[in-house]
């Protein structure tokens, strides 16, 4: 799909080399200052190319790529105002894109729109951003679900699920169903010290699944299979302990995200994960 989109963009924008340069910059993303700067430069380049595009379709595809690159950067900023402004740029770029696209491509744009809205809301505060959830983010996710729930490794299910688990008034059990769907539909195998284990291809599918299980108090009556949850947790723990080479088996291109998200989970540096890893360490021995 990405090769096809690249070919379409090369045919309809002013500089194929610049598109390829933007791609090359994004491929250099990492959790270092230089890697974050590369992603920022990539996003800025896609924005410029979008301004030069000679059709709405080409502009929309470029705005999706801009959204993806700046989303990466946004997740690594420290200043609250900067984080909010950066995620706002992401969802505005993705909103334009979704308005011009159809089918799976529209679902993909809606994913970036909703994911950025979600992270904006988490940064701003869940209660202070409820109106955005009800009026913007939730409708976008439900529309994307009808188009293609599987984009971005079941990203629509992943984002809906976590939102339902966190937003007051939503059904946590429904949230658990969604994150379980994302996790179970993206399983792959990794090998660590000669032992083959199963985990999701998308790190947050695993971590949101574990977060949901704890939110539902690890109770079978709440739809939680503790044996499966512990298997997922112990595999994630083994991958984290083994380091970057093991993490690359999940997602080599996106290893920076795997590293950042697993560190937030196991070091409980994220509010969502304050109790999750600690409780699962006790329950999953």
Rounded CA gap, 119 and 125, in Å? 10
113-147 residue pLDDT tens: 999 999 999 999 887 788 899 999 999 999 999 99
What is the per-residue pLDDT for 285? 85
The one-character DSSP state at 55 is: S
* CA–CA separation, 230 and 234 (whole Å): 6
Residue 199 pairs with which residues in a beta bridge?
A: 188
Which H helix or E strand runs over 197?
strand 195-200
Q: Measure Cα distances from 114 to 67, 161, 191, 231 in Å.
A: 11, 12, 34, 30
Q: What is the pTM of this model?
A: 0.92
For residue 13, what pLDDT band results from cuts at 50, 70 and 90? very low
Tens-digit pLDDT profile for residues 135-188: 999 999 999 999 999 999 999 999 999 999 999 999 999 999 999 999 999 999
> Band of the pLDDT at 16, cuts 50, 70, 90?
low
pLDDT one-digit tens code per residue, 202-218? 999 999 999 999 999 99
* Confidence tier at 1 by pLDDT (50, 70, 90): low
The whole-number pLDDT of residue 200 equals 98
Tokens 């900023």 correspond to: 77
């Amino acid at each position: 799909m990405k090769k096809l989109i690249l070919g379409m963009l090369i045919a309809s924008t002013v500089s194929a080399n610049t598109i390829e340069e933007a791609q090359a910059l994004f491929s250099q993303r990492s959790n270092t200052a230089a890697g974050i700067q590369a992603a920022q430069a990539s996003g800025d380049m896609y924005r410029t190319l979008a301004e030069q595009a000679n059709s709405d379709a080409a502009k929309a595809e470029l705005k999706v790529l801009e959204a993806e690159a700046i989303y990466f950067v946004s997740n690594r900023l420290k200043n609250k105002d900067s984080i909010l402004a950066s995620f706002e740029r992401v969802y505005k770029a993705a909103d334009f894109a979704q308005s011009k696209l159809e089918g799976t491509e529209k679902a993909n744009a809606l994913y970036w729109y909703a994911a950025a809205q979600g992270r904006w809301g988490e940064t701003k505060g869940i209660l202070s951003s409820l109106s955005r959830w009800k009026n913007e983010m939730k409708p976008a996710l439900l529309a994307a679900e009808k188009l293609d729930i599987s984009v971005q490794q079941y990203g629509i299910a992943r984002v809906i699920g976590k939102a339902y688990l966190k937003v007051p008034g939503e059904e946590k059990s429904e949230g658990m169903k969604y994150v379980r769907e994302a996790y179970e539909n993206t399983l792959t195998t990794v090998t660590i010290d000669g032992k083959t284990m199963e985990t999701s291809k998308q790190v947050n599918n695993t971590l949101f699944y574990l977060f949901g299980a704890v939110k539902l108090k690890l109770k079978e009556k709440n739809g939680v299979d503790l044996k499966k949850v512990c298997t997922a947790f112990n595999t994630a723990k083994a991958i984290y302990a083994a380091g970057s080479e093991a993490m690359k088996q999940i997602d080599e291109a996106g290893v920076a995200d795997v590293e950042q998200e697993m560190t937030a989970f196991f070091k409980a540096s994220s509010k969502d994960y304050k109790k999750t890893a600690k409780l699962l360490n006790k329950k999953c021995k």
